[in-house]
Structure 1
Amino acid sequence: MFKLKLPFPPSVNTYWRHVGNRVLVSKKGRQYQATVSSMLHRKKLKTLEGDLIVDVRLIPPDRRRRDVDNSMKALLDAMQFGGVYLDDSQIVRLTIEKHQPEPADPRAEVVVQNIPAPMGKQGFRSCLRCDEAFVSTGPGNRICESCTFLNALLPDAMPIERGQKFHNGEPMQ
């Protein structure tokens, strides 16, 4: 399993360029690939083989509207170019989250791991709360024991019935 902190990827809108009747990776795209590749080569990561799970958190530089899928092509291609995996066709599960902008530190936080168990079977999974790997009892178990314990300490939330309206936390009649 790899946890990577990479630069925020360029949009697919600026990733490709048409030159005559050919479509090429733009200068901005090549620079991004080179930056990511040099970061990954310094880490001396072993190339992963087999089916993979990739979890991505995008922290953009500003509040402009962005489609999360527009950033994925550059990011996944750069990780392949940097040797994280042989081909991005190995990815069988991809999750993407877009967080609040951080102008001082825009980035893509990526977790890449082999599939620990066949889909729908018990095995290792990543906790949805803390991102740590844990032994899961099946596809419905996605939170580790320590996070389940922490969730149990939280006060019980009042269930909201659909159609019921509230004012200052009290049900309206």
Structure 2
Amino acid sequence: MKSLSLELPMPPSANRIWRNGAGRNYRSAEYMRFIRAVSVAVVAAGAPTFGDKRLEVHIRLHPATRARQDIDNRVKACLDALTHAGVMDDDSQVDVLVVDRGPVVKGGKSIVRLAVFDPAAEAVEYLMRG
């Protein structure tokens, strides 16, 4: 099974992706830094590209502080940056998405694991669990 694991910076919140000014919307500087960091990590890892294959994705978010945060606000930025880096064609390919919160780490980070989704194997695993 083709898979990929990446350690990335903490994705920006969906509330901080877009900014507006001069009558238009544009990507925030914070989001653009994140997109560049993801692209660098993908190249450094020699990451495979999944093309249009169906995927399962697990995102573990390690916040920088114990402040309250909605972990679901981080998902869109992460998936879009992976798409921008060429890891997958489109984030609509994700059939299984698991997001959880890890322990606090200085500076924050995210661990992202992607794998080709095999519905047949998933069905067997489901049946075996009873």
TM-score range, shorter chain: 0.7 to 0.9
TM-score by length of 1: 0.66
Q: Which residue of 24, 27, 34 corresponds with 2:26? A: 24
Query: 1:12-91, aligned counterparts within 5 Å?
Result: 12-48=14-50, 49-91=52-94
Bigger helix fraction = 2
Kindly indicate whether the alpha-carbon contact (under 8 Å) linking 2:54 and 2:117 is maintained by their aligned counterparts in 1: yes
Structure 1: runs of 5+ lacking an equivalent: 123-137, 143-173
Aligned length in residues: 126
Rg (Cα) greater in structure: 1
Percent identical among aligned pairs is 30
Q: Deviations over 1:11-32 (max 9, x none)?
A: 1111111234432211110111
AA partner of residue 86 (structure 1): D
CA deviation after TM superposition for structure 1 residue 38, in Å? 1.2
CA deviation after TM superposition for structure 1 residue 62, in Å? 0.4
CA-atom RMSD, angstroms? Answer: 1.8
Higher relative contact order (CA 8 A, sep 6+): 2
Q: Which residue of 102, 105, 108 corresponds with 1:106? A: 108
Kindly indicate whether the alpha-carbon contact (under 8 Å) linking 2:63 and 2:104 is maintained by their aligned counterparts in 1: yes
Q: How far apart are the structure 1 equivalents of 2:36 and 2:20?
A: 21
Structure 2: runs of 5+ lacking an equivalent: none
